[in-house]
Structure 1
Amino acid sequence: MKDIRDLLMPKGAERQVKEIHRLLRPPSSPSHEDLFECTRAKSISNLSTFAVGDKYAPIFKFSHFNKMQTSAFPMLFQDPDNCVVTSPTGSGKTALFELAIVRALKENSKAKILYLAPLKALCSERISDWSHRFGRLNISVGLLTGDSSLGEIQRARTCNIIISTPEKWESFTRQYKDREKFLLSFGLLLLDEIHTIKEDRGANLEAVVTRMKSLYRNIRIIALSATVPNIEDISKWLSKPDKPTATTLKFNDSYRSVKLTKTVLGFNKKSTTNEFQFGAFLTSKLLTVIQNYGNKKPVLVFCATRKSTITTAKALSAKLGSYFPQKPPITGRLQPHLLELINNGVAYHHGGLSSEERQVIETGFLSGKINVICCTSTLAAGVNLPAYLVVIKGTKTWINGSLQEYSDLEVLQMIGRAGRPQFENEGACVIMTQSAEKAKYEKLIHGTEEVESSLPSKLSEILLKEVASGQISDSQSAIKWMKATFFYQRYLVSPFSYTNVVKQIMYKKPSQCLELFLQKEMKELWDGGLITIEQGRFVCSCYGNTMLRNCLSLDTMKYLLTLKNIRQDKCLDVLSRAPEFGNVEYRSSEKALFRKINQSQLIRNKVEGELEDAWQKVHLFVQFELGGLDYPSHPSFKNLLFNFNYDKANVLRRMSNVINAGITIFEEKADTTSLKSMLYLGRCLSAKAWENTALELTQIDGFDKAGAKKFEASNICSIKEAVKLSKESFEQLGINHSGKIYGQLRLFPQIHLKGEFIRNAPASSLLNISIIITPPAIHISNHHHSQVAILINDKSTNELIKFMKIPLHQINDHMEINLEMNAQMSERIVIQANFIDKVGSGTEISLCCLESIEDSDFSDDEYVKLMLDERAKRKCEEQTQTEAKRRHETSLGMIEEEMFTDIEPENSSKSSITRELSSENIFRR
């Protein structure tokens, strides 16, 4: 019976495909090695793109597939099996994804396709490219973020192709457990750069792919990879449930459209030489490298830091001389020293340049007027500037405050810029590194370094996410999940690659060792209070959900849980030291800048001593924002501005997450002091202004920092003081648009509280709180997302009585809250109400329970008797609560002991990770 898809092909293409399929599919099912030999041995003419059908042929930018794409065509376009392809960078792998997409759409025009890539730059490239090419055929392409709104989810629901990173997609599939309500079932999963599962971020990729395999059992998976020797392990991991392995296609460098000469040069580094001196030494060798390998054609030199790009460009400009032919001069509004370099045929390129400067450099390089660009590694991921020669000058870059090795993906992307298929059929790349690292990079570029799993390093956090998503609910599902990971697959093959994670035990099988490791990691989450047990199932605790909701690391969560009684003046100091900011980069070139910032009069809490640590940079970033500082105007700081703004935005976003987590933690722990401090810093951060300063007024539309300074000079330091002024006073102070500001100031929301105790019973009172918002909430901007925080505490003991966050749209203009409370005669309570995202609107009142009782008709004797009865009743209640707590702790201890008992030896008749619990085997194999 003829396949309906064949009817869509032109006759010539149909015969060509059948012939190719016959050549590549011998009668006996080939192994991956046999298949590779077939593709290498047979001489096959390149296949026309019309082989996919007239409708879809225009998707491709070319008329014929290249040799690699033609060889892979039958497996990608005709067979339904999962497929793993390993091929060199620059061989045209992206077209293989497009073949799989076309097949899926021809089978079902409403097919849902998910593309995952490890870097945002790759996702942006796919969005830009595919939206244009597929869009012409009304095939929609969309991006889905992890914190997606319902509107974005609905838009994604209508898209054929969804593009995301593993982190973003993991967040979505965890938050929306009823996924069918939002998205139709996926038929195709595309995994780009799958070999990056060995990188630090690879744990998230491995976990999300494992989850997708569980959620969509019939999904087809296409994975593309750079050349790696153990690709078969990845194929076994990504196989369909009824097959032992996915189809595996391996292509060597002969399939690259541009022949690439790859060289690693190792240089001895003296023990007395630091990394910067070694970098300068490599710069001195660059001219020789360019002369030996560059063939007088365009060159990209990748450097470790922005400063290094400039010093390297200057050094080359002085040495290259007449090596390259002279070109007509370039003019433009550029920095004089940069313009001078450019007209010598050399330029530098990094994120700190203006858009005009980058455009001039990129255009000049593509047109041939610039011969050499010295750049940072970010150019490899985001800008398409191919060169004949790529030189990686040193294999370390500045990460987390120190020079660290580039990731393998970064190196491969930089190498991928070598060769210009539109101009020539060859290219070259040279890696300059220390002699001790030479063998490592030779393995990488020749594809002889095996891929290992990075999951063990992040297993605790990954397990917590799987508990939250519902993938892990007991011991059996935990073990099932583990067996579906690449880590499990790889550990069984090479257990001694993971000796630092899993200690071998003589009488236990590798699978049992992994179960012990799983048990240890789950117990760590249990001990930390991040998971608990409800009705015999693992679930995330309040702390666990808080950690995931705010995207915090496990170390940060542990740090926050150790904190208590944080005073308001120490809150920023404590939070700046959180592990969440451990990877904030504090460059030596920035120290003078932050010393200058620390000396500003607008810095409320100056950092004492030398500014040497990253936490001090975090501290000053927050104060810079809340104090309304202007960036120092000294010329020496100009080149640091881009990096400063980028780092500041990153720190402020993370600080907001840490504060939000802290609010939940300290509410749960009933730590009133810390909770108040967190709420205070959180609303200041949201408003971008310290509370009770004139900067409060910058929340008013059109009111700037200059106006705030004028108010401060007149000792007006809050919105509540400013609103008392007359319209004439605004004009006298010289406020721009004073009439408009005067009117808007009266529309700025204020909270009004009224409270009273109503005697409810001899032992209790009813606290009535009346909240009034002026103007009505509907007239307040962002009222759909704003909240009012109500905090009630005992004034004498500081005990937290009640904490509530009420959405503003629920209050509108008035709300009454009634709370049942114990009537302790001397109790005085404080009620605070503040917007969580505004300063200058809050209020506070104080009440005493005694006021309600004084109005009663009780005699003195009755009053004393009531007090004694109340005391006896409270004592009885306390004893009952203590006994209940003791029983609860005993019960939890028994559960913990039984859930996390070591598994028995292999020869035991009953091997399990834990024993029976409440007639259910919570952790039974």
Structure 2
Amino acid sequence: MKDIRDLLIAKSAEKHEKETSQQPSLPSSPTHEDLFECTKAKPASNLNTFAVGDNYASIFKFSQFNKMQTSAFPMIFQDSDNCVVTSPTGSGKTVLFEVAIIRALKENSKAKILYLAPLKALCNERFSDWSHRFARFNISAGLLTGDSDMREVQRARACNIVISTPEKWDTFTRQSKNRRESLLPLSLLLLDEIHAIKENRGANLEAVVTRIKNLYHNIRIIALSATVPNIDDISKWLRKPGKLRATTLKFNDTYRSVKLTKTVLGFNRKPTTNEFQFEAFLTSKLLAIIQNYGNRKPVLVFCATRKSTIMTAKALGKKLGSYFPRKPPITDRLQPQLLDLINNGVAYHHGGLSSEERRVIENGFLSGKISVICCTSTLAAGVNLPAFLVVIKGTKTWINGSLQEYSDLEVLQMIGRAGRPQFENQGACVIMTQSAEKAKYEKLIHGTEEVESSLPHKLSEILLKEVDSGQISDFQSAIEWLKTTFFYQRYLVSPYSYAGVVKPVIYKKPSHCLESFLQKGIKELWAGGLITIQQGEFVCSCYGDTMLRNCLSLETMKYLLRLKNIEQDKCLDFLSQTPEFAKVEYRSSEKPLFRKINQSPLIRYRLEGEIEAVWQKVHLVVQFELGRLDYPTHPSFRNLSLGFNFDKAKVLRQMTNLINAGISIFERKGDTTSLRSVLYLERCLSAKAWENTALELTQIEGIDKGVARKLETSNIHSIKEALQLPRESFHRLGIKNSVTIYDQLRSFPQIHLKAKIIRNASTADLLKVAMVITTPIEYIPNYDSSDCTILIHGRNTKELIKYMKIPLRQMSGDLEINLEVNAQLNEKIVIYANFTDKVGSGTEVSLSCLPSIDESDFSDEEDVELMLIEREKRKCEEQAQTDAKRRRENSLEMTEEGVFSELEREDSSMSSVTPE
């Protein structure tokens, strides 16, 4: 079977070569070797940075480019072709981006440049560096990552250099309805770590780059990659129109400024040994590795988990002894355990440490007081701490209770910290792994593992985005789009690399196999209701638009579309279990923390049994926020607080997206029960408090959790109950600022409804709904961004009659809505009105549809007329106060007017003097 497969691959490659040779001859961009063949010799000496021009030379922190940068300079700075550079990590590739930026700006001072990198940490690093170094030339940089706000988006539109992740750029370019007009005038695209297209997230990178190529035909592309054998496939993909491939520059380890010794050590793992025992075994081997490869110089040991960094540091602290020379002690105020380790020359570093602790450790390592840091992989991408020796202790990490391999990009980032060019010309890295994985990592570090596309695994999601962006409108345009991807380029060369997703058929051409695969992806979108076909063209449906607008995965969207009739008390259960939260990490060290949170008396929905699953963590994080819980004070939880707050922000952001998607889906499906439930959760999350609990009161200025609980002990469980209390009751309860709180309560907006049905024998009945808000709109905080929702449905049938969201800024006065309804006899209609960002303000009306009834019906027992009179009275009092204030100001202005007139006379007399 193997022989037949090899024969088929050979025939496929031969056929592809034959088809290519029959195409019209196109000019080919040269490779690095071709260029040096033309010049007959490599550069004899390194180039001075003034080669970019006297003005821009000061951007660089050095006076001469290194050997690799000097060799690449003519193709990057003096040529305009697209360029793909493959070079070892740590060889100085980023400088090539800066050279390309300078060329683009010299050609056009207002040039727009886009930098894409697969990791936020890389984007943050580039932004921090470039925004500082280019600022002196009035060249601005803007950052677009998943955490960017609208101000950053606006800044990115105005700046010269946009720095972004592929995911954020994808959202950014599809958020405007008129996309063609909103396109930024890009002239240069910089792709960092382009080999990351083979990772799980690489599909987004490949799709975004493909879209940019199709939209900007004349854009110049500079792509940097670690050493990979099939870099020519990437060059063919990134070529300029009319060329066979981009200029390809290949540099080996001899071009690295610091010579790096790379070693992979494979260890046999017994079948009876679990992962914890194997990790302990690897720890026992560390001392010998440091002594054999470390040369008594700084060492970084990368560990799989936060707990592992601590345990490894403790083990090394006991064993290293006098191996490293003793340094003056560090006296900063730190945890005793950490301080003891540091003064033994060892420290641990992870995301759970405070910023002060990380600062002390990083400075101690750079100054030489700390010789070994045991850290997690996040340090490799976010902190510049080069070491002589890097040790990767194990190549698997625990994520959400399961073992997962590090991505290739993570491994290369960790290796990139080896070698310190400012101190020496050598470095070393050692990868410790299982014997079965040894060959894989040897291929990776020596650059012999080929890059494959990950786009097939995300094809349906990518197709939906391209339909939404306008790149794909029918099956033919989908085929044309596919031909511009790296996946297509690579599939023609090696179809059996994709046998798991696209089965090569002996009697079919590769192009026919791809067409069948493409058709399957489009059919999946159509069958799921995410696209529709209108006048022969693919159009993104309302469900597809909802998925993209809220940045959800296809699996999450399918999950939401299956949900129905969700009751209010189960809504959080269902949303916490969406596939969207699969990437939230649940570490074993966090289990005691969430067990403690679950035991809190303020948890509204306590979970049964052990807290083992990711969805349970998500559930409790949301309840922590809505229950206004205090973080546990036990010392064992102190180190987890930073990670907890980071995860909480991420979970709440994703939960908001899910709720927004749920509202759109359940409204479209007419699922009243589910719609009411997600609207309830939306209000609670916006107000950061459970509705129908005393925590409603924390929305009132002056009432904190303590005051709310004090009111709760007096059987006051809501704002409406608190409004019934006389002023004296607040004083008797010992509440500070009771007068102010009493007044604030009465200014908190409440909604009242008035509704009636007008019967009409010939046409549909008319439902008249009047909505009154007690507080004038302009006095409501954040009224510009607040909305009101009205939900109308049959009480018995649960049939959704109407759902609408009304921005407060559009409601100048009381609101009246007239709807035509086909109300059945003896049926009751229920009308709900609520603010989207406040709890305790809403109301409901139950209205019977009997033909004899033509009267108004109120849900609340208060007299709305009296309420309106009280509001007018308050307006008059406020107007009187305003008039009195204006009189005082006028009096003051008359006094000031005399003073200013005197000054003006002095100014005029001074200006009339002619200077000598």
SS for the counterpart of 1:218 is: coil
Q: Which amino acid aligns with 1:135?
A: A
SS for the counterpart of 2:747 is: coil
| Structure 1 residues 288 and 806: CA distance shift in structure 2, 3 A | same
- Taking the TM superposition and a 5 Å limit, the aligned residue runs for 1:201-240 are 201-240=201-240
Distance (Å, rounded) in 1 between the aligned partners of 2:405 and 2:184: 42
Q: Which amino acid aligns with 1:487?
A: F
Q: How far apart are residue 150 of structure 1 and its match?
A: 6.7
Q: Which amino acid aligns with 1:161?
A: I
SS for the counterpart of 2:134 is: helix
| Structure 1 residues 30 and 535: CA distance shift in structure 2, 3 A | closer
| 2:834 aligned partner | 834
Distance (Å, rounded) in 2 between the aligned partners of 1:451 and 1:523: 29
What's the CA shift string for 1:307-346, capped at 9, x where partnerless? 1111101100100111111111110111111111111111
| 1:309 aligned partner | 309
SS for the counterpart of 1:438 is: helix
SS for the counterpart of 1:581 is: helix
Q: Which amino acid aligns with 1:335?
A: Q
Percent identity over the alignment is: 78
| Structure 1 residues 607 and 149: CA distance shift in structure 2, 3 A | closer
Q: How far apart are residue 37 of structure 1 and its match?
A: 7.2
* Contact kept? 1:115, 1:191, Cα under 8 Å: yes
| Structure 1 residues 183 and 726: CA distance shift in structure 2, 3 A | farther
Q: Which amino acid aligns with 2:478?
A: A
1:353 partnered with 2:318: no
| Structure 1 residues 676 and 621: CA distance shift in structure 2, 3 A | same
| Structure 1 residues 728 and 440: CA distance shift in structure 2, 3 A | same
- Taking the TM superposition and a 5 Å limit, the aligned residue runs for 1:277-356 are 277-356=277-356
Q: Which amino acid aligns with 2:212?
A: M
Q: How far apart are residue 785 of structure 1 and its match?
A: 1.8
| 1:499 aligned partner | 499
- Taking the TM superposition and a 5 Å limit, the aligned residue runs for 1:461-476 are 461-476=461-476
| 1:446 aligned partner | 446
SS for the counterpart of 2:529 is: coil
Distance (Å, rounded) in 2 between the aligned partners of 1:841 and 1:711: 18
TM-score of the pair, normalised by structure 1: 0.87
* Contact kept? 2:121, 2:382, Cα under 8 Å: yes
| 1:825 aligned partner | 825
| Structure 1 residues 78 and 580: CA distance shift in structure 2, 3 A | same
Distance (Å, rounded) in 2 between the aligned partners of 1:488 and 1:145: 29
Distance (Å, rounded) in 2 between the aligned partners of 1:473 and 1:40: 50
| 1:605 aligned partner | 605
| Structure 1 residues 411 and 367: CA distance shift in structure 2, 3 A | same
What's the CA shift string for 1:241-293, capped at 9, x where partnerless? 11110000011111111111111111111111111111110110000000000
SS for the counterpart of 1:708 is: helix
Q: Which amino acid aligns with 1:778?
A: E
| Structure 1 residues 577 and 383: CA distance shift in structure 2, 3 A | same
- Taking the TM superposition and a 5 Å limit, the aligned residue runs for 1:618-657 are 618-657=618-657
What's the CA shift string for 1:809-837, capped at 9, x where partnerless? 11244211111122533232110011122
* Contact kept? 1:694, 1:717, Cα under 8 Å: yes
- Taking the TM superposition and a 5 Å limit, the aligned residue runs for 1:601-750 are 601-750=601-750
Higher mean displacement: 216-225 or 724-733? 724-733
| Structure 1 residues 471 and 487: CA distance shift in structure 2, 3 A | same
Distance (Å, rounded) in 2 between the aligned partners of 1:853 and 1:364: 82
Distance (Å, rounded) in 1 between the aligned partners of 2:224 and 2:700: 52
Q: How far apart are residue 683 of structure 1 and its match?
A: 1.1
| 2:6 aligned partner | none
What's the CA shift string for 1:768-790, capped at 9, x where partnerless? 11112231222222222221111
Q: Which amino acid aligns with 2:124?
A: S
* Contact kept? 1:36, 1:251, Cα under 8 Å: no
CA RMSD of aligned residues (A): 2.0
| Structure 1 residues 148 and 608: CA distance shift in structure 2, 3 A | closer
* Contact kept? 1:750, 1:775, Cα under 8 Å: yes
SS for the counterpart of 2:725 is: coil
| 1:10 aligned partner | none
Higher mean displacement: 159-168 or 762-771? 762-771
* Contact kept? 1:210, 1:485, Cα under 8 Å: yes
What's the CA shift string for 1:874-916, capped at 9, x where partnerless? xxxxxxxxxxxxxxxxxxxxxxxxxxxxxxxxxxxxxxxxxxx
Distance (Å, rounded) in 1 between the aligned partners of 2:494 and 2:519: 21
Distance (Å, rounded) in 2 between the aligned partners of 1:280 and 1:40: 55
| 1:913 aligned partner | none
Q: How far apart are residue 535 of structure 1 and its match?
A: 2.0
Q: How far apart are residue 144 of structure 1 and its match?
A: 3.3
What's the CA shift string for 1:558-608, capped at 9, x where partnerless? 111111111112212222222222233333322222222222221222212
* Contact kept? 2:203, 2:455, Cα under 8 Å: yes
Q: How far apart are residue 36 of structure 1 and its match?
A: 6.8
Higher mean displacement: 638-647 or 747-756? 638-647
SS for the counterpart of 1:187 is: strand
Distance (Å, rounded) in 2 between the aligned partners of 1:142 and 1:28: 35
| 1:101 aligned partner | 101
Distance (Å, rounded) in 2 between the aligned partners of 1:307 and 1:70: 44
1:426 partnered with 2:426: yes
| 1:51 aligned partner | 51
| 1:816 aligned partner | 816
What's the CA shift string for 1:289-311, capped at 9, x where partnerless? 00000000111111111111111
SS for the counterpart of 2:831 is: strand
Number of aligned pairs? 830
SS for the counterpart of 1:798 is: coil
| Structure 1 residues 736 and 270: CA distance shift in structure 2, 3 A | farther
What's the CA shift string for 1:378-435, capped at 9, x where partnerless? 1111111111111111111222332211111111111111111111111111111111
SS for the counterpart of 1:449 is: coil
* Contact kept? 2:120, 2:145, Cα under 8 Å: no
Higher mean displacement: 393-402 or 132-141? 393-402
Q: How far apart are residue 46 of structure 1 and its match?
A: 1.1
- Taking the TM superposition and a 5 Å limit, the aligned residue runs for 1:356-505 are 356-505=356-505
Distance (Å, rounded) in 1 between the aligned partners of 2:587 and 2:806: 43
TM-score of the pair, normalised by structure 2: 0.88
What's the CA shift string for 1:649-698, capped at 9, x where partnerless? 22222222112111111111111111111111121122111101010112
* Contact kept? 1:229, 1:449, Cα under 8 Å: yes
What's the CA shift string for 1:110-152, capped at 9, x where partnerless? 1111111111111111111111111100011112357977755
Q: Which amino acid aligns with 1:101?
A: I
Distance (Å, rounded) in 1 between the aligned partners of 2:333 and 2:198: 44
Q: How far apart are residue 153 of structure 1 and its match?
A: 4.4
Q: Which amino acid aligns with 2:99?
A: L
Distance (Å, rounded) in 2 between the aligned partners of 1:605 and 1:262: 53
| 1:908 aligned partner | none
Distance (Å, rounded) in 1 between the aligned partners of 2:37 and 2:345: 45
| Structure 1 residues 652 and 854: CA distance shift in structure 2, 3 A | closer
| Structure 1 residues 39 and 569: CA distance shift in structure 2, 3 A | farther
What's the CA shift string for 1:45-94, capped at 9, x where partnerless? 11111111111111111111111111111100011100000111111111
Q: How far apart are residue 479 of structure 1 and its match?
A: 0.5
Q: Which amino acid aligns with 1:82?
A: N
Q: Which amino acid aligns with 1:332?
A: D
* Contact kept? 1:687, 1:839, Cα under 8 Å: yes
Higher mean displacement: 173-182 or 493-502? 173-182
Q: Which amino acid aligns with 1:219?
A: I
Q: Which amino acid aligns with 1:315?
A: A
* Contact kept? 1:764, 1:822, Cα under 8 Å: yes
| Structure 1 residues 39 and 129: CA distance shift in structure 2, 3 A | farther
Distance (Å, rounded) in 2 between the aligned partners of 1:654 and 1:125: 25
Distance (Å, rounded) in 2 between the aligned partners of 1:180 and 1:492: 32
What's the CA shift string for 1:774-808, capped at 9, x where partnerless? 31222222222221111001112111111111111
* Contact kept? 1:682, 1:837, Cα under 8 Å: yes
Distance (Å, rounded) in 1 between the aligned partners of 2:784 and 2:676: 24
* Contact kept? 1:88, 1:251, Cα under 8 Å: yes
| 1:520 aligned partner | 520
* Contact kept? 2:28, 2:243, Cα under 8 Å: no
| Structure 1 residues 663 and 29: CA distance shift in structure 2, 3 A | closer
Q: Which amino acid aligns with 1:589?
A: S
| Structure 1 residues 105 and 562: CA distance shift in structure 2, 3 A | same
Higher mean displacement: 611-620 or 270-279? 611-620
Distance (Å, rounded) in 2 between the aligned partners of 1:59 and 1:38: 31
